[in-house]
Amino acid sequence: MFLWDTNTSNAIINLVTNHNVWAIVGTDDAIPRDRFNPERDKIDYYNSAFAINPRGELAASYYKRLLVIFGEFVPFTDWLPFMKYLSPVGDASFSRGHGPTLFDLPDLGVTTTTLICFEDTFPNFVRTYVTDETDFLLNLTNNGWFGESAAQWQHAATAMFRAIENRIPLVRCTNNGLTCWIDEIGRFHEVYVGDSKDIYGPCFKTAQIPLLNGKRELTFYTRHGDIFGWSCVLVTALASARRLAARSRSARL
């Protein structure tokens, strides 16, 4: 069930149906653990993204997998119950999602995958969200926590590397901060609000994102992850060990 009020729900449904458009929105979701008897068991809460089709129907959902400690969940409360009083989250911790979700928008011929908040800062995590059918990645994030600090730009900079590593456009939609899109070689587009040099303030933006012409060719990093980096670490460690062994032999002689 959607954890938004009726006015918000109606506004979104009216928007997509009146304009015949798709919408991908961020919200909270709640799922009873016992679907046949919701009153008997507990409810799991999720930080979520929903794809709403032009008929106002829920077409797909994604549940955030990497949660912010003390911001979205409190650890060790089963063994240390007092921990829940150290965070405003309290007993209302979110549950983790179970995997990436492809958002297929067939009316548009578009397929995207959604990341929520700081999930776009983990390279080996993000690469699992890219398939040969993914047109672009979408990051929905609440950057209101950062105010107007440099953290807004730092977060966007991490997203830039995810676009480069996987050679895929990445769209960022923030409630306060850097809403833009990044192309597959790391260039930022639609950064500022209108003709200003400001990234803050209420606005809407339109962007033209290049779509696939056939299947996407996956990069080495997308297919193999950090194997090259760890191979470099291993080679360096072996070379260092060999050098130290040679020095040890010379010292004995």
- The CA-based dihedral angle spanning residues 232, 234, 240, 244, taken in that order and rounded to the nearest 10 degrees: -170
Contacts of 105 (CB under 8 A, 6+ apart): 22, 51, 53, 59, 111, 112
Please give the Cα distance from 189 to 219 (Å, whole number).
Answer: 22
**pLDDT tens, position by position, 32-58:** 876 666 555 678 889 999 999 999 999
Which tokens sit at 94? 């979110």
Which tokens sit at 139? 């990051």
Please give the Cα distance from 90 to 75 (Å, whole number).
Answer: 11
Which tokens sit at 187? 């260039």
pLDDT at site 40: 54
Contacts of 87 (CB under 8 A, 6+ apart): 70, 71, 74
pLDDT at site 143: 86
∠ Cα 213 219 221 (to 5°): 150
Can you list the alpha helix ranges (DSSP code H) found in the chain?
Answer: 6-19, 123-126, 151-166, 220-224, 227-252
Which tokens sit at 245? 């062994």
**pLDDT tens, position by position, 45-96:** 899 999 999 999 999 999 999 998 877 877 766 666 666 666 555 566 788 9
**How many other C-beta atoms can be found within 10 angstroms of the C-beta atom of residue 116?**
24
Please give the Cα distance from 168 to 161 (Å, whole number).
Answer: 10
Q: Coil, strand or helix: which one is 141? A: strand
**pLDDT tens, position by position, 118-144:** 999 999 999 999 999 999 999 999 888
